Amino acid sequence: MRHSIALVTGTTSGLGYAAASMLAAQGCRQVIVTGRSLARVQETAAQLAAETKTQVFTPLELDLNAPTSVEAALAELVKRGRPIDFLLLNAGMVSGKERVLTAAGIEAAQAPLIGHHQLTVGLLGAGLLGPSARIVIAGAEPARGDVPMFSYTDVAAFAAKHHQGDRTAAVEALVRSGPNVKYEPNRAYADAKLFVAWWAAALARRLPSGMAVYAVSPGSAPDTQASRNAAPVLKWLFIPIVKLIPGMTQTPETAARRYLQASELGTDVSGQFFASAPKKLTGPMEAMRHPHFHDRANQEAAWQAVVKVSGVDFPSAGQLSAVP
């Protein structure tokens, strides 16, 4: 990380804040920290600077729910013109009890992926990712289907039932929490993080050869703000029980460290999903081997659905040649 430039999304609390702090400690030359409002993220940058006694933090306004905000952030980064070496797409949230749609008609837990896609593809198109850039996006263990109370949607079955077998249309319906989707918060969160893993796998196939992307679950770290909107049964029953069981939780710093570990991985494992060992929520991370993460048809369906919902496709080969 020494001398490199990092951009971390969702730094106003929790793991994004912890990761930004660690990146400064590791010698990053610049850490661009984002938050939904400029005033709030300016405060965050000042707090980080005071805590770490470094002057490497640059605040940037970025609301991933609003395409105009992502466009404005991209324009600002283009103006600054310095390629990013480590893009940490950390922002995210646990779905709330009630279905919430953004102004663009996207289910709230899915919205960060749409905004992160727009940001990543925009940076690639502008030549603002370094030639060996590492991209890490926050996943979560519930996408595995082995965490109590969480299960994900069987996209192939959902597509067969409601979309004549069209999996892209099925993923789009889930991203929008459309008419045939029965909203259930834990399933919405598991689906959002499953699509993150599929999106990373699909992006890996498209990136220039020196770059790599990984989906990474930081693991269970309940002392953040992640579950502030969570359904009462998760917030007041599941999480308190998990906190009582030794080995089921870790500090935000330990969790955020996984992001930095992932930034050191090679291109040979690009596109994989790293998380706690199966059935575990903490401990060392490893690549997930569950067959559903490796279903290429679903990975491509997730990619195409994200392209359609965001309206942003991967830059053509000619546009990519601008990458320094």
Task: At 7, list the tokens.
Answer: 């951009």
Q: Are 191 and 140 in contact (CB under 8 A)?
A: no
Task: At 145, list the tokens.
Answer: 């289907």
If the CB atoms of residues 11 and 153 are measured against ligand NAP, the closer one turns out to be 11
Give min distance, CB of 224 to ligand NAP, in A.
3
Give min distance, CB of 202 to ligand NAP, in A.
19
- C-alpha span between 316 and 212 (Å, rounded): 18
If the CB atoms of residues 15 and 159 are measured against ligand NAP, the closer one turns out to be 15
If the CB atoms of residues 185 and 315 are measured against ligand NAP, the closer one turns out to be 185
If the CB atoms of residues 169 and 234 are measured against ligand NAP, the closer one turns out to be 234
Q: Provide the binding-site residues for ligand NAP, judged by CB under 6 A.
A: 10-16, 35-36, 62-65, 90-93, 111-112, 138, 140, 217-218, 220-222, 224-226
- SS3 readout for the chain: CCCCEEEECCCCCHHHHHHHHHHHHCCCCEEEEEECCHHHHHHHHHHHHHHHCCCCEEEEECCCCCHHHHHHHHHHHHHHCCCEEEEEECCCCCCECCCCECCCCCECCCHHHHHHHHHHHHHHHCCCEEEEEEEEEECCHHHHCCCCCCCCCCHHHHHHHHCCCCHHHHHHHHHCCCCCCCCCHHHHHHHHHHHHHHHHHHHHHHCCCCCEEEEECCCCCCCCCCCCCECHHHHHHHHHHHHHCCCCCCCHHHHHHHHHHHCCCCHHHCCCEEEECCCCCCCCEEECCCHHHHCHHHHHHHHHHHHHHHCCCCCCHHHHCCCC
If the CB atoms of residues 10 and 96 are measured against ligand NAP, the closer one turns out to be 10
Task: At 120, list the tokens.
Answer: 């990543």
Give min distance, CB of 172 to ligand NAP, in A.
19
If the CB atoms of residues 163 and 257 are measured against ligand NAP, the closer one turns out to be 257
Give min distance, CB of 40 to ligand NAP, in A.
7
Give min distance, CB of 4 to ligand NAP, in A.
22
Give min distance, CB of 66 to ligand NAP, in A.
8
Q: Are 275 and 144 in contact (CB under 8 A)?
A: yes
If the CB atoms of residues 63 and 85 are measured against ligand NAP, the closer one turns out to be 63
Give min distance, CB of 242 to ligand NAP, in A.
9
If the CB atoms of residues 35 and 271 are measured against ligand NAP, the closer one turns out to be 35
